[in-house]
């Protein structure tokens, strides 16, 4: 069984150019990882492959049963009720694998995003499709849930398409990776993320060496061409009779002899030959193009608040699910970088909601939630078009430094969730916040963008409150940790 996309082109109505252009790629049985920067077309390709979108041109294999799990988990899966009412062996095995109790499907709107994501994926696996596409399936999942997910997906025997920034999941599942490269190219490499990335870096290093050699050769040829042009110019001057006395027959004879024997004309011919060699070297150098990466730190134009303590939290018990969350006395200093950790459903979002009620009205806070509704996503992009051009340019400059293409964001219709999070951060930075609150900041971000955000937040001079399951990310940009577990909050 194989899914084939042949010469597929797809363009959104508002886009100036197609996001997929004459793309041909095959997906065999097993898991294939889709790699690339935010907005490059990974989600669009997954939607076209599962017939969620019809291509503008080209063809997609028909007759396969397809299922797509989107990035967001705002809406309950269409087959959720059927899954909840099925007590057959496969449904029970999936509920056990994802630790889904009997009540969860019936209170979907009350669940955490991580719990919703587990239900979403379980329903997709239960439908037993021929083609299963997962778009960032580990978003919102804690460490235990990610391990459960990898085990469950490892049993899938159909055609799997995995859009993910989770390196461990890609290494465990993918046997090949399809990578979106700069310039619109798509390259297929064997193995999971680590093997494919290593191969890509070897290819990049090879191209860099070729470009360096081509640059050196071009410089040598240009210098030689200049030398030969000077020689040809001197030879031309020697052949000229303009400054010779008309009666000096010996001098005229020598010039005529040089022209007859071709001695002085040789320099001109050598100069002409060098032009073609220089042109060939220029083409070689152009062919060895290496896409520039932005690896610099993002400068955040912000300062720490003059208040030494931004929040002082008194001990409290607040409602959380079917029970309560015990919150001890805590504080947030003006330069504290705090990471909030804990399993799905433990109450991390409840803690954030409580903290929001305690924030002074005059505190400049940038608060970026886990997910945006469709209406909010549309509003964020629309607001960008209404601000002054100079301010818009500054915001888009920050977005570019976070590894996204500003032109794609301005087009609006195909702005990815990862690009929207960067846009929210960029807009907030322009307002000079003294406290940044982010719930799962790495969700939807590609790997290079995660690294750029990590460097940016680590350098932020104000206070941070970050909820994340990515311990490596938190270790790089926070210095204090609050753990939410078993109905209580504690500093560790």
pLDDT digits (tens, 9 = 90+) for 372-383: 777 777 787 777
Report if residue 47 sits inside a domain: yes
Q: Do residue 259 and residue 159 come from a single domain?
A: no
Whether the pLDDT of residue 260 is over 50: the answer is no
- List Cα–Cα distances, 454 to 137, 328, 425, in angstroms: 21, 29, 13
Tens digits of residue pLDDT in 306-329: 989 999 999 999 888 778 899 999
Whether residue 323 is found in the same domain as residue 387: yes
Domain assignment of residue 195, yes or no: no
- 151, 409 in Cβ contact below 8 A? no
Question: Whole-model pTM above 0.75?
Answer: no
Question: Residue range 16-27: average pLDDT?
Answer: 89
Asked if 472 and 354 sit in the same domain, the reply is yes
pLDDT at 428: 82
Kind plus residue range of the DSSP H or E element containing 438 = strand 435-439
222-225 long-range contacts, CB within 8 A, separation 24+: 222/278, 224/274, 225/271, 225/274, 225/275, 225/277, 225/278
8 inside domain: yes
Between 415 and 325, the higher pLDDT residue: 325
> In terms of domains, do 207 and 179 share one?
no
The pLDDT value given to residue 133? 96
Whole-number Å distance between alpha carbons of 226 and 217: 14
Question: Do 263 and 161 have their domain in common?
Answer: no
Final residue in a domain of this structure, among 227, 254, 287: 287
pLDDT value of position 361: 86
Q: Are residues 348 and 423 in the same domain?
A: yes
Considering the domain architecture, whether residues 356 and 216 belong to the same structural domain is answered as: no
pLDDT over 90 for what percent of the chain? 34
DSSP3 helix / strand / coil % (the chain, rounded to 5) = 45, 20, 35
Structural domains in the chain (count):
3
pLDDT in the model for residue 45: 93
For the chain, the average pLDDT equals: 82
Q: What CATH number is given to the structural domain containing 120?
A: 3.40.50.300
Q: Which residues pair with 484 in a beta bridge?
A: 489
Q: How many CB atoms lie within 10 A of CB 186?
A: 18
Whether 432 is covered by a domain: the verdict is yes
Question: Which structural domain, as residue segments, surrounds residue 225?
Answer: 203-287
Query: Would you say residue 33 lies in a domain?
Result: yes
Beta strand extents in 295-408 (DSSP E only): 309-313, 316-320, 323-327, 330-333, 337-341, 365-368
Q: What is the per-residue pLDDT across 78-120, written as a single tens digit (0 to 9) for each? A: 999 999 999 999 999 999 999 899 999 999 988 888 888 899 9
Mean pLDDT within 213-223: 78
Shared domain for 467 and 329, answered yes or no, is: yes
Instruction: Please count the helices (runs of H) and the strands (runs of E) in the chain.
Output: 16, 19
CA dist., res. 445 & res. 38, Å (int):
7
Tell whether 372 and 452 lie within a shared domain: yes
| Residue 371 falls inside a structural domain | yes
What is d(CA 146, CA 118) in angstroms, rounded to the nearest whole number? Answer: 10
Determine the distance from the C-alpha atom of residue 270 to the mean position of all C-alpha atoms in its chain, rounded to a whole number: 51
Cα–Cα distance for residue pair 432/411, rounded to 1 Å: 27
Residue 111, CA distances (Å) to 136, 155, 229 in order: 19, 26, 77
Domain edge (last residue) among 155, 183, 211 = 183
> pLDDT by residue (tens digit) across 131-179?
999 999 988 788 888 888 999 999 999 999 999 888 889 999 999 999 9
Query: Of 137, 153, 183, at which residue does a domain stop?
Result: 183
Q: Within 13 Å of residue 397, how many CA atoms lie on the same side as its CB? A: 13
381 and 278 in a common domain:
no
Which residues are CB-neighbours of 260 under 8 A, at least 6 positions away?
A: none
* One domain for residues 162 and 209: no
Domain identity same for 105 and 208: no
Contact 480, 311 (CB under 8 A): no
Is residue 296, in this structure, part of any structural domain at all?
no
For β-strands 66-69 and 57-60, DSSP reports them as unpaired
Most confident of 38-47, 373-382, 385-394: 38-47
Domain assignment of residue 198, yes or no: no
Separation in Å, CA 437 to CA 374, 467, 480, 483: 21, 8, 14, 16
């Amino acid at each position: 069984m194989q899914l084939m996309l042949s010469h597929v082109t797809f363009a959104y109505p508002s886009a100036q150019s197609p996001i997929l252009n004459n793309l041909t790629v095959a997906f065999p049985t097993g898991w294939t990882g889709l790699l690339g920067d935010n907005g490059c077309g990974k989600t669009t390709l997954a939607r076209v492959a599962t017939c969620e979108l019809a291509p503008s041109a080209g063809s997609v294999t028909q007759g396969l049963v397809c299922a797509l799990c989107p990035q967001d988990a705002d809406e309950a899966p269409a087959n959720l009720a059927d899954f909840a009412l099925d007590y057959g062996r496969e449904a029970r095995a999936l509920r056990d694998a994802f630790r889904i109790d009997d009540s969860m499907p019936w209170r979907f709107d009350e669940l955490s995003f991580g719990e919703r994501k587990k239900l979403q994926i379980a329903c997709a696996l239960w439908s037993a499709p021929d083609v299963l596409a997962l778009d960032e399936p580990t978003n919102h999942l804690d460490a235990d849930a990610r391990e459960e997910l990898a085990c469950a997906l490892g049993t899938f025997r159909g055609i799997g398409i995995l859009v993910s920034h989770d390196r461990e999941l890609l290494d465990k599942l993918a046997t090949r990776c399809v990578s979106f490269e700069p310039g619109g190219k798509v390259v297929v490499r064997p193995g999971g993320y680590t093997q494919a990335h290593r191969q890509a870096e070897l290819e990049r290093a090879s191209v860099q060496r070729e470009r360096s050699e081509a640059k050196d050769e071009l410089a040598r040829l240009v210098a030689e061409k200049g030398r030969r042009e000077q020689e040809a110019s001197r030879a031309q001057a020697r052949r000229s009779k303009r400054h010779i006395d008309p009666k000096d027959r010996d001098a005229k004879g020598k010039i005529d002899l040089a022209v007859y024997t071709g001695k002085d004309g040789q320099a001109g011919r050598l100069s002409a030959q060098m032009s073609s060699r220089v042109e060939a070297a220029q083409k070689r150098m152009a062919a060895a193009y290496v896409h520039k990466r932005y690896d610099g730190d993002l400068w955040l134009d912000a300062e720490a608040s003059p208040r030494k303590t931004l929040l002082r939290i008194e001990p409290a018990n607040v409602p959380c699910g079917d029970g309560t969350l015990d919150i001890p006395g805590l504080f947030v200093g003006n330069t504290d970088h705090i990471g909030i950790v804990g399993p799905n459903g433990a109450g991390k979002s409840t803690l954030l909601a409580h903290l929001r009620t305690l924030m002074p009205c005059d505190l400049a806070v940038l608060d970026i939630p886990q997910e945006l509704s469709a209406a909010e996503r549309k509003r964020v992009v629309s607001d960008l078009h209404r601000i002054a051009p100079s301010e818009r340019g500054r915001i888009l400059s920050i977005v570019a430094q976070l590894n996204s293409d500003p032109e794609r964001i301005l087009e609006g219709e195909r702005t990815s969730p990862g690009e929207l999070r960067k846009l929210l951060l960029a807009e907030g930075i322009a307002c000079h916040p003294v406290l940044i609150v982010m719930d799962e900041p790495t969700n939807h971000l590609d790997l290079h963008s995660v690294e750029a955000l990590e460097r940016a937040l680590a350098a932020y001079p104000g206070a941070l409150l970050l909820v994340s399951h990515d311990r490596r990310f938190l270790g790089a940009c926070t210095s204090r940790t609050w753990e939410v577990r078993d109905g209580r909050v504690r500093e560790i």
